[in-house]
Amino acid sequence: MTRALIIIDVQNDFCPGGALAVAGGDAIVPGINALMAEFPAVILTQDWHPAGHSSFASSHPGKAPFAMTEMPYGPQVLWPDHCVQGSAGAAFHPGLNSDRADLIIRKGYNPAIDSYSAFFENDHSTATGLEGYLRSRGITDLTMVGLATDFCVNFSAVDAAGLGFAVTLRADLCRAIDMDGSLAAAMSGLAEAGVRVA
């Protein structure tokens, strides 16, 4: 029981037709379901924003989606409204075997701070509690899949490696937004952090 599969944000709003759709986001679902059988522990993360979240462009008059702004914790992309708590868009993709999950970590529920990583909010100090859960179960090796490669998967993998976990990212079971070179930057950062990309 040292290995866990971490499935990042496979939610309707990140799949084709969703508010912040990642191209091919739904194509990874069958492969993720099949991979679950290889792991004793399966953890899902779920973006879970209150309406009017500070990371939404709609909360910043005159700002367009995908513009940048400065928040107290640093630079922040302003996103289209997405994964609003209780909405159909925030639900897991209907094809995902979410019943297999031992734990669901919800993130981004603090209206003042966005949260890409499964481990920390974007201030890089407010913990989600996932690290403590993994440590208490004796889990040391993490495999990450999901959406999107260059944002939530990337931040989660880099944070996990920084916390001392052995981390593998299954690139075939992730999809990227790739905004202004963000995928290339993420892949470089993952290598620097010691994340194995398979």
Catalytic residue among 9, 81, 114, 150: 9
152 classed as catalytic: yes
- 49 φψ region: left (φ > 0), alpha (ψ -120 to 50), beta (else): beta
Q: What are phi and psi of 6, to 5 degrees?
A: -105, 115
The catalytic residue among 15, 83, 152, 174 is: 152
- The two three-digit tokens of residue 164, written as one number: 């001392």
> Is the N-terminal amide bond of 176 cis, ω within 30° of 0?
no
**CA 127 – CA 19 distance, rounded (Å):** 27
Both tokens assigned to 149: 């490669």
Catalytic residue among 107, 150, 159, 174: 107
Torsion of CA 140, 144, 150, 151, to 10 degrees: -70
Residue 55, both tokens = 């990371």
Active site residues: 9, 107, 152
